[in-house]
Structures are given as C-alpha cells and as structure tokens.
Amino acid sequence: MTQPLTPAHDNMNERAPSHGAALAILSTAFFMWGLATVFNDILVPHLKGIFGLGYRQAALVQLSFFSAYLFASGPSAKVVARVGYQRSMVAGLLVMATGALLFIPAASVLSYPAFLGGLLVLASGITLVQVAANPYVAAMGEPAGASSRLNLAQALNSLGTTVGPSLGGWLILRGAAHTQSELRAMTAEQLQAWRLATAASVKWPYFGIALLLCGVALAIARFRFPVLRIEKKDEAASSGGSVWRHRQLAFGAGAIFLYVGAEVSIGSFLVSYFMLPDIAGLTAAVAARYVTFYWGGAMVGRFAGSVLLRRFRAGPAAGTMAIAAAVLVLTSVNSTGWMAAYAILAVGLCNSILFPSIFSLGIAGLGKRTSEASGVLIASIVGGAVIPFCEGALADRFGLQHAFLLPAACYLYLVFYGFAGWKPRAAGN
C-alpha cells in the first residue's frame, strides 16, 4: 500500500506533469535561494566598509541570515504538514521577496540592524522553501536515486551561487573602492554622503531579486505537481519515539551544521582573503569575481555528482570529498600567494556533493516523518551563522588566514559521517 507524500489539499490532479517537468520548475526555486544566499558574500565586505566593522561584527550578516534556519525550521515543518509542499514553497518565496524589499529602507536610513533584520526575514523564507523542496525532490523516484536527484537540483542552486558573486560585485561593490586612508581624510559630511551613496547600491539589486522571487512564486503556484508516494513500510518503521533516535538523522544534523558552517565561512571571507597582500592583493570588486570560481566548482561537481552517485554510494563519496576539502584548506593556510588562493577556491568543488548527500542520507527511511526530519536538518543550517561568527572572532585575534583552520576541523567530522555516521540504525541501539 502507498499513500501520498504531499497533503491532499496541494494543487494537483490526476493528469499531473512528469517528475522531470516538476523537477525543472522546482529548480528555479533552488536557483533563486542560491542567488539570494551568495549575495551575503558581497554584503559582508560591503557593509564592513560602510560601517567600519571588524571581521566578527561583519560576520553578523551571516549570523542574522543563518539563525533563521534555527528559529524558522520548526514552524516551517508545521506549515508544510498543514498546507502541503507546493503552497509552502510559494509562501516561502513571497517571504523571501519581502525580506529583499526591506533592504531599500535599510539603505535609506543607513542602519546596520535594519540590514540584519531584512536578512533574517529573507532567510526565514528560504527556510520554508528548503523544508518543502528538499524532501519533495528526494522523493521524486526510487529511494536509491535520492542523492542523485538532490545533487541535480542543488546544481541549479549552485548556478545561482556561481553567477551571484560576479553579478553582486558588479552591481554593489563598484562604488566601494576608496582606501582607508582616503576615508580618514574625508570630513564628517563627506563620509556620511559616501556611506549613503555606497549603501544605496544595494537597492536596485535587491528590488530585482524581489521581482524575480514573485515571478517564481507565481509559476510554482500555477504548476500542477505530481502526487508523490512512499512505501507504507517506511512509515511504520519510523512512526515511534523521537525522530532523534534515528542515527542517520542525529549524526546528519551535526554534519549539516558543520558543513554549512565551513562552506559559508570560506565564502564569507574570500573577498577579504584575496585582498590580503600576502595572498593576491586584489581590490574588492576584482576579488568578488574570483568568488565565482569557488561556487562554480560546487555547481560543476553537483552536475557531475548527479550522474556519479547513480553508481557510487553517497556516504563514502561524501567522506572522500570531505578529506580532499580538509587537505585543500590546510594547504591554503600554510601557503601564500596564488597557491593559497587556488587551494581555497578548489574547496568549492569538494563541497559539491556534500549537502545533498548528507540530506538524503539523513532522511532515508523516515517515511511519514520526513517533513519533521527535514525540519531538523534545515535547522542545522544554523551552522552557517555560528561557524562564520567564530571564524570572524579568530580572524580578529589571529589573522584571517589562520582562522581558516576552523572550517578544516569541520570537514574532519564530515569524514566520519561519510564513512560511518550515516548508517541508518536507531541511535539508542
């Protein structure tokens, strides 16, 4: 016997389109949250310059953004269970658009807390979209292919993160070329005028993002998705006790926390890293272009991973990539010049299959508790708030290059999860 994965009140009918068509339109949502998320990598150095912040204070951008995953994931799981996957994705996209629009008044009043508030709202919408979209995509076919499908969808997410840095750098960072000595030479009135003009550069980009999000929400609202079904035996196996008793989920939550923390920590400080004289000595606008290669590596790897994971087991593949990532980060920490720059950029390729593999392994076999488990894993994305903030504190104290030892340590846990922690037996057994 089978039963629908999506609640009966979702907008579906008996002649729904194929899974391929559904995956194609859902990929637009993956693309948009990737684009919105990676713009943070541009905001960190941009707002750091405008408000004269240290690394730790600038990391509040990621702290505000990714903390939404902790606070909004539980309510998001309840929303999905109540109104269904499709309507939840539409609602999440509209919340994202609202958060993007909040950047306009934040720039007008030149308020750092207002920027952080807009990021919190934006990320709350992304949380709802992810709680709905990730398990839906994972269920669109045989369970053995869940990692492959999520890698393909996440590749479109990575397309957004790939084009975002160059686009954001061109739109936002062009007016941020003043040196610190030039800024110190300005009068108070000149400095305030420069800050207002520089902050205003975020208005049109985020207004454009809001319009695109509304367009994607409309497209998904009008699309008739297929009813997905799961095996009854999976539901029976996962119905009793706390969802945390399942080993693959408990360890998977830690893996998501540390993976996202490591990935975001690296991406957040790449512009500042490439501006260091001992690394590349680039300007902010030029450095932003190189961030594209970091996220572009993840995109290429995810397209390849969607094929390779049909032949190789997701766990060991993820563990192998985590080993490579740790080695590359350590190489960058212990090098200078372009050797250090290229090594840290190559970590993006290693990141490629990690999130979709961990996510699909974490929810494997949880049946009707899939949306609850998805909420737990999405909440664990709060690592993107905590780890960058800690790295910022380390950078202020020991220097930015040595602060990258923190994400290297995170990848070591992912080695454990890839080779052992994902195996689905009850945690208490």
pLDDT per position as a tens digit, 103-139 = 999 999 999 999 999 999 999 999 999 888 877 887 7
Of 292 and 371, more confident: 292
Radius of gyration in angstroms for the set of CA atoms belonging to the chain, rounded to a whole number:
21
Spell out the residues 6+ positions from residue 194 whose beta carbon is closer than 8 angstroms to its own. 178, 183, 186
Percent of the chain surpassing pLDDT 70: 86
- pLDDT, residue 375, reads 80
Tokens 């509209």 label which residue? 94
- Percent of the chain past pLDDT 90, that is, above it, reads 49
Residue with the two structure tokens 């992810």: 130
pLDDT of residue 74: 84
- Give the distance, in angstroms, between the CA of residue 290 and the centroid of all CA atoms in the same chain: 19
Q: Does residue 228 have a pLDDT over 70? A: no
CB 146 within 8 A of CB 138: yes
> Span 305-328, mean pLDDT?
89
At 20, the pLDDT band (50, 70, 90 cuts) reads confident
Per-residue pLDDT at 229: 53
> Which residues, including other chains, have CB under 8 Å from residue 272's CB and lie 6 or more apart?
44, 45, 48, 55, 287, 400
pLDDT in tens, 38-71: 899 999 989 998 898 999 999 999 999 999 988 9
Model pLDDT for residues 406-429, shown as the tens digit of each residue? 999 999 999 999 999 888 664 444
Residue type (1 letter), 223: F
**What is the predicted pLDDT for the residue at 322?**
96
Q: How much is the average pLDDT of 318-335?
A: 96
Q: Quick one: pLDDT at residue 271?
A: 92
User: Is pLDDT at 245 greater than 90 in this prediction?
Assistant: no
Q: Give the pLDDT mean for 323-343.
A: 96
Give pLDDT, residue 343: 97
Report for 180-194, 369-383, 391-405: range of highest mean pLDDT: 391-405
Per-residue pLDDT band for 15 (boundaries 50, 70, 90) equals: very low
d(CA 286, CA 276): 13
Reported as a pLDDT band with limits 50, 70 and 90, residue 351 is very high
Residue 4 in this model has a pLDDT that exceeds 60: no
Neighbours of 277 (CB within 10 A): 7
Q: Is 217 left (phi over 0), alpha (psi -120 to 50) or beta?
A: alpha
For residue 246, the SS3 value is strand
Is the pLDDT confidence value at 17 over 60? no
> What is the band of 208 on the pLDDT scale with cuts at 50, 70, 90?
very high
pTM of the model: 0.79
How far apart (Å, rounded) are the C-alpha atoms in residues 203 and 332? 35
User: For residues 390 and 298, is the Cβ–Cβ distance under 8 A?
Assistant: no
Q: Say if CB 274 and CB 290 are below 8 A apart.
A: yes
Element (H, E) at 84: none
Mean pLDDT value across residues 85-91: 92
Q: What is the pLDDT of residues 167-189, one digit of tens each?
A: 988 888 865 555 566 666 777 88
pLDDT of residue 12 exceeding 50, the answer is no
- C-alpha closest to that of 254 among 330, 150, 362: 362
pLDDT at residue 6 in the model: 44
Query: Are 71 and 164 within 8 A, CB to CB?
Result: no
Examine the pLDDT at 393 and tell me if it is beyond 80: yes
The confidence band for 240, taking pLDDT boundaries of 50, 70 and 90, is low
Q: Which pLDDT score, from 0 to 100, does residue 178 have?
A: 55
Mean predicted lDDT score pLDDT of the chain:
85
CA distances for 259 relative to 52, 90, 237, 351, angstroms: 29, 27, 28, 8
Contact of 302 with 356, CB cutoff 8 Å: yes
Q: Which domains does the chain have, with CATH numbers?
A: 2-421 (1.20.1250.20)
